[in-house]
């Protein structure tokens, strides 16, 4: 059976030892978020995830969602768990108190999202989508729309969706065909078909609020002619009572590789009543507000899977007795040694661990900058925003790619027992896979990094990452105890700098050069970011490992940092070579020969 204990010790380390978590409460609006409060919240979230969400993960996967006569039934236990989730107030963690939320820091929310994803990724998508809808509506909706819909989204009584994709229109939203026609009363009539709509139809809430991309009759062609509309499943009277069923319906649900307990729906809009959110033809702006939040959240899905797969693999590697250690029996009293003695098993476990802990630090580092949105100093706010903007594609793609890798390693540690379903390890592989695809494929994230973020303002965004890292390397270069961490970081960083110059220059001459290097470049960027954080984590842990390290937490941290630097970071050398080789071998290949 799958087991999972939220890594609270490590979360506290990241928040309060690696970062200045205690200072969060000095930000205006976050006065309540003191350390003791954050501790209590994390504890209780962990309990809920471990006791309520985790037990429904495998049954939800086995059962899946059922579609009958236009109605979707979620797996057994999901409606009750969702109700308990809402009663405990978890949908409103970061939402504004104005609409019934708790207004808590995003960095705390990020840690809770990780726990939810570790426990039950499918379940997490329902409140996750509502949160995305909340963010888009809160930033761009009119006061009337906000007052009417946000409180119910915040308390989870209603849920939300994001309806972007159409059969002919996935990554390229400019191809969107869904129509919106103004009605006399100021509302609109929406007609079209949307596909791949997570939580489009289900039995968890009384009403579902769809945010739909569509084209007005006078819309310019392409991406600049898209507007955003709010379309409720049931129309809502002014007194908040539910009225007539709107003409939006679920046509079918998809049969998927993973996240089977999450309903992925085809939604048909047939002159459905909707309201404009934001300005006409400015739908993409609203959509990007939502998407940036969602992209970070999707990154955390990869992290959540990496962590839970690691925990499962460690437990199995301690128990499973096979063969003897290459250097002689370590447990002579047992019929064989547990497989954790074998170098290759240790390689896999440490890789999972180094990825999970490194990605947790990276996710929190970026989320901490989201919270600086509350900072009184405008320069600080802007710099933090630039940092988040730069790091969003890195977090999304790196965390989901590594999450997938970690999930695969988890299966490998189990051998044949990982491939069969009973232990739940293969489910992590299937569930993690989608995170590399949705909210912009990881290829699109890489293009966003090299095509948009890298050249923006003559590289100003890049400096938000490059400056702190180069300052750190310079500052610590003389500290002998840190050499084993700072030196490899320095090497990776030099490669990243050189690769950046190469991609930027070659990309100017020929955009295919940047396109061909993008994925490797993003990975090089991400690994360098992890190296920076691992060096800092080692720096924090080294003195503490010397004294009062009863649980061995700090010693393990330093040892994991060492493994990362020596065994994982060298990948940057290979990535660097690939990038420097240029696009020719990729692009010269004759299309007909494929």
Partner 1 sequence: MKVLVPIKRVIDYNVKIRVKADHSGVETANVKYSANPFDEIAVEEAVRLMEAGIVSEIVVVSIGPAAAQDVLRNALALGADRAVLVQTDNEIQPLAVAKLLKLLCLQESPRLVILGKQAIDDDSNQTGQALAALLNWPQGTFASKLVIEDGRIEVTREIDGGLEILSLALPAVVTTDLRLNEPRYLSLPNIMKAKKKPLEIRPAASLDINVEPRLITVRVEEPQQRQAGIKVADVTTLLNKLKHEAKVI
Among residues 378 and 550, whose Cβ is nearest to partner 1?
550
Which string of DSSP letters, residue by residue, matches 369-391? HHHGGG-S-HHHHHHHHHHHHHH
Calculate ∠ Cα 48-51-57, nearest 5°.
Answer: 100
Our CA angle for 255, 259, 265, nearest 5°, is: 50
d(CA 196, CA 167): 9
First to last CA, the chain: 44
Cα 562 to Cα 10: distance, rounded to the nearest angstrom: 17
Exposure b/e, 244-258, CB count within 10 A at least 16 = b: eebebbbeebbebeb
Just list the catalytic residues. Answer: 439
Report the residue number, 34 or 168, with the smaller CB distance to partner 1.
Answer: 34
Query: Which of residues 41 and 214 has its CB atom nearest to partner 1 in the complex?
Result: 41
Identify the H or E element spanning 212: strand 207-214
Helix axes 553-563, 511-546, angle to 10 degrees: 150
Q: How far is the CB of 381 from partner 1 (least distance, A)?
A: 25
Least distance between partner 1 and beta carbon 374 (Å) = 17
CB of 95 to partner 1, least distance (A): 11
CB 248 within 8 A of CB 267: yes
String of DSSP letters for 215-245: B-TTPPSGGGG-EEEEEESEEE-TTS-EEEE
Please identify, using beta-carbon distances, which residue of 39 and 254 lies nearer to partner 1. Answer: 39
8-state DSSP, 118: H
* Rounded Cα–Cα distance for residues 173 and 156 (Å): 29
Question: For tokens 């570790």, what's the residue?
Answer: 118
- Left, alpha or beta for 530 (phi > 0: left; psi -120 to 50: alpha)? alpha
User: In the complex, what is the shortest distance from the CB of residue 150 to partner 1, in angstroms, rounded to a whole number?
Assistant: 16
Residue with tokens 């708790």: 102
Exposed (0-12), middle (13-18) or buried (19+): which is 543, by Cβ within 10 Å? exposed
Asked if 392 and 83 count as a contact pair (C-beta separation under 8 A), the reply is no
Minimal distance, residue 45 CB to partner 1, in Å? 8
Nearest approach in angstroms of CB 86 to partner 1 is 10
Q: Rounded to an integer, what distance in angstroms lies between the CA atom of residue 181 and that of residue 269?
A: 12
Q: Which C-beta is closer to partner 1: that of 53 or that of 208? A: 53
| Shortest distance in whole angstroms from residue 167 CB to partner 1 | 40
Nearer to partner 1 by C-beta: 204 or 434? 204
Positions touching partner 1 (CB under 8 A) are 5, 32, 34, 36-37, 39-41, 44, 47-48, 52, 84, 87-90, 92-93, 102, 333, 548, 550-551, 553
Compute the distance between CA of residue 212 and CA of residue 383 in angstroms, rounded to an integer: 32
Closest CA to 88 of 54, 132, 125, 43: 43
Minimum distance from residue 41 beta carbon to partner 1 (Å): 6
Residue placing its CB nearer to partner 1 in the complex, 90 or 493:
90
The Cα 471–Cα 155 span in angstroms is 44
Rank residues 100 and 251 by Cβ distance to partner 1 and give the closer one.
100
Give the Cα-Cα-Cα angle 20, 22, 25 (nearest 5 degrees).
120
CB of 524 to partner 1, least distance (A): 37
Q: Which is nearer to partner 1, 13 or 126 (CB)?
A: 13
| Phi, psi for 532 (deg, rounded to 5) | -60, -45
């Amino acid at each position: 059976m799958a087991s999972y204990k939220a890594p609270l010790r490590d979360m506290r380390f990241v928040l309060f030892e690696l970062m200045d978590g205690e200072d969060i409460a000095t930000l205006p609006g976050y006065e309540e978020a003191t350390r003791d409060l954050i501790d209590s919240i994390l504890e209780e979230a962990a309990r809920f995830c471990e006791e309520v969400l985790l037990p429904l993960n495998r049954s939800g996967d086995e059962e899946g969602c059922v579609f009958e006569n236009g109605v979707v039934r979620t797996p057994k236990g999901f409606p009750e768990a969702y109700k308990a989730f809402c009663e405990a107030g978890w949908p409103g963690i970061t939402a504004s108190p104005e609409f019934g939320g708790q207004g808590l820091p995003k960095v705390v929310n990020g840690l809770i999202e990780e726990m939810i994803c570790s426990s039950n990724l499918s379940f997490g998508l329902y409140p996750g989508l509502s949160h995305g809808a909340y963010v888009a509506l809160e930033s761009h909706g009119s006061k009337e729309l906000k007052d009417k819909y946000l409180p119910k989204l915040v308390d989870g009584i209603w849920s939300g969706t994001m309806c972007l994709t159409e059969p002919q229109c996935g990554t390229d939203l400019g191809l969107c065909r869904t129509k919106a026609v103004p009605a006399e009363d100021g509302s609109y009539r929406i007609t079209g078909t949307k596909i791949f709509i997570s939580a489009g139809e289900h039995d968890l809430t009384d009403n579902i609020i769809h945010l739909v991309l569509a084209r007005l009759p006078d819309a310019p062609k392409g991406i600049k002619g898209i507007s955003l509309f709010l379309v409720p499943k049931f129309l809502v009277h002014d007194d908040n009572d539910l009225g007539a069923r709107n003409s939006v319906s679920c046509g079918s649900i998809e049969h998927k590789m993973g996240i089977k307990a999450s309903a992925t729906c085809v939604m048909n809009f047939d002159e459905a009543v909707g309201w404009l959110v934001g300005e006409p033809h400015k739908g993409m702006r609203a959509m990007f507000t939502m998407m940036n939040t969602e992209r970070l959240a999707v990154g955390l899905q990869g992290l959540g899977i990496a962590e839970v797969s690691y925990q499962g693999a460690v437990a199995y590697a301690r128990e499973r007795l096979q063969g003897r250690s290459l250097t002689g029996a370590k447990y002579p009293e047992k019929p064989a040694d547990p497989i954790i003695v074998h170098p290759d098993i240790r390689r896999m476990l440490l890789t999972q661990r180094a990825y999970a802990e490194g990605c947790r630090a990276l996710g929190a580092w970026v989320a901490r900058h989201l919270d600086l949105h509350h900072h009184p100093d405008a320069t600080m706010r802007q710099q933090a925003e630039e940092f988040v903007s730069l790091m969003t594609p890195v977090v999304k793609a790196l965390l989901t790619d590594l999450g997938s890798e970690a999930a695969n390693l988890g299966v490998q540690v189990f051998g044949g027992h990982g491939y069969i379903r009973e232990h739940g390890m293969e489910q992590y592989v299937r569930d993690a896979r989608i995170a590399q695809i949705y909210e912009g494929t990881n290829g699109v994230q890489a293009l966003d990094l090299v095509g948009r973020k890298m050249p923006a303002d003559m590289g100003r965004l890049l400096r938000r990452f490059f400056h702190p890292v180069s300052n750190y390397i310079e500052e610590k270069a003389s500290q002998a105890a840190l050499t084993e961490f700072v030196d490899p970081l320095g090497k990776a960083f030099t490669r990243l700098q050189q690769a950046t110059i190469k991609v930027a220059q070659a990309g100017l001459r020929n955009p295919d050069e940047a396109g061909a290097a993008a994925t490797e470049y993003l990975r090089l960027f991400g690994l360098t970011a992890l190296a920076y954080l691992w060096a800092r984590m080692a720096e924090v842990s080294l003195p503490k490992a010397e004294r009062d390290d009863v649980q061995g937490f700090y010693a393990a941290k330093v040892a994991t940092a060492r493994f990362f630097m020596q065994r994982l970071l060298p990948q940057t050398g290979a990535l660097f070579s690939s990038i420097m080789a240029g696009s020719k071998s990729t692009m010269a290949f004759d299309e007909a020969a494929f």
